[in-house]
Structure 1
């Protein structure tokens, strides 16, 4: 039986990678200046144009993938006789996995023999992407679906996200910090860091005065929490700050030996909440 891998656009992988590996993509939506636009890895609106709009004052909002979208895509592949593996954005950050679960129940009522596995990644952006990379690798090696699911479930809480944002106002809008904290932090040049906890929530970590110290903190997390990093592909996610991403890559290469480093662009949905200048290092570690 063919296994069809499906993911959502919050994975922030490149559209080339998605197409090359025949992954089906469902898109979360962004309301930008009153227009609903699919967050489809930069196809409908480029990452550059999205962040340009935000920098010019746009205040986008986001919506999850709906049940109908999942129902249609699940039905399409079930009718082809495929088994389905969907890897989705953390349920603590979006209702997208809940929509997928409802759609799965609807499909199973019509097609009781259908095989649909849903992985709540408890991750975001390239953290979700790490699980997709692992799944693709295992599929290429003809690993069984049950083995893939069990493995992904076993490592998803070991995916470490070390994140910093450049502008506190985006966190304020998302309710992560108060207006007063954002105002004072902005005046003092405070750069907060965030992480994803075991429940898949974005939570505050350390605070630093200045961008340079915050970036150094991200790199240090690789040494503190990384597990067998010399055998890993490390992801650097960036929201329209490629120069900083390249700097972080150089810092990692100067300090550690790793298998590979992949730089990805943070898309419109995740970028709505972190804002331009958000940057993160994602890797598999010992614990969150």
Structure 2
């Protein structure tokens, strides 16, 4: 039996990916106006980005505990083996809720075979981990082998990203409002990365072209060009043109052709905003 891979919508993979029989989606919640939506199910990212451009405040919340419980119960009743690779616990309560729901389901189904992993990753960084795990599951790998690869990918996954407008990060408490105002005046673009699942400012760079070049340089500095069959992810906040430009910049200096480009989904995009560009890769020479 193929092992079931579960991911939440913060992985920013496409709907087509989740149409696979052995892959399941747990959507996070998106709220604006008077309505609550399910990311990727009842709302798409373009709607969210347009609302943000119009000045609407978009909020998010973790996935539904009841939906998790229903999915975990179904897995138990079918006797399946499953692995849930969750959005970083430093950015969402979804992982903790999943652990609690697993405990509840196990009260009635003690044989539930479900492993829940705190990925410490976000957006397509999480997506690349999930995608690799799904490929292994599809090819019949054992649970132990898949878990070992997930652990490796998580420990070596780099997240390097920039936002086009600091105001969105300010609304989410990531930067001060004063910093956002000054950054907008000076055309300063923040470069950020992740450490142990947390968003950490890395540098401040003036100008869009310079920050893209710097992302490329950081990838070089962190051994992103040395990995064999390197899996490179680029996600964007409704700015595919810039995402493709970054891909071409990388391809000019490497033979790599294993790229995944996706739009940042509603749950992550509500905090990062339109115009965000994010780069993901492994920092070691064993892919």
Calculate the TM-score normalised by the size of structure 2: 0.95
Matched, 1:18 2:18: yes
Matches within 5 A, 1:38-117: 38-40=38-40, 43-117=41-115
Deviation of 1:241 after TM superposition, in Å, equals 0.7
Q: Give the C-alpha shift of residue 128 in structure 1.
A: 0.7
Alpha-carbon displacement from aligned partner over 1:144-191 (angstroms, at most 9, x marks no partner)? 112211221233121001100000011111111111111111100000
**1:222 maps onto 2:219 in alignment:** yes
Work out the CA distance in 2 between the residues paired with 1:138 and 1:243. Answer: 31
In 1, distance between residues paired with 2:2 and 2:74?
13
SS at 1:258's partner residue?
Answer: coil
The equivalent residue for 2:231 is 233
- Where does structure 1 differ by over 3 angstroms across 4 or more consecutive aligned residues? 227-230
Q: Please say if residues 39 and 267 of structure 2, whose CA atoms lie closer than 8 Å, have aligned partners that are also in contact.
A: yes
Deviation at 1:35, TM superposition (A): 0.9
- TM-score, structure 1 normalization: 0.94
The match for 2:169 is 171
Structure 1 contact 227–286 (Cα < 8 Å) conserved? no
Distance in structure 2 (CA, Å) of the matches to 1:67 and 1:193: 34
* Greater mean alpha carbon deviation, residues 273-282 or residues 137-146: 137-146
Aligned to 1:138: 136
Alignment CA distance shift 1:109-1:66 (3 Å):
same
The residue aligned with 2:155 is 157
CA RMSD between the two structures: 1.5
Deviation (angstroms), 1:206: 0.9
Quote the offset at 1:229 in angstroms: 3.5
Distance (whole Å) between structure 1 residues aligned to residue 30 and residue 274 of structure 2: 15
The answer to whether the Cα contact below 8 Å between 2:226 and 2:284 also exists between their aligned partners in 1 is no
Farther off after superposition, 133-142 or 167-176: 133-142
**Could you tell me whether the CA contact under 8 Å between 2:166 and 2:180 is conserved in 1?**
yes
Shift of 1:257: 1.8
1:255 alignment partner, SS class: coil
Q: How far apart, CA to CA, are the structure 1 residues paired with 2:33 and 2:214?
A: 35
Q: Which runs of 5+ in 2 are unaligned?
A: none
Shift of 1:127: 0.7
C-alpha distance in structure 2 between counterparts of 1:250 and 1:213, whole Å:
15
Corresponding residue SS for 2:110: coil
1:212 and 2:209 are equivalent in the alignment: yes
Shift of 1:219: 1.5
Q: Deviations over 1:46-67 (max 9, x none)?
A: 3222211110111100000132
Is 1:5–1:23's contact at 8 Å kept on the other side of the alignment? yes
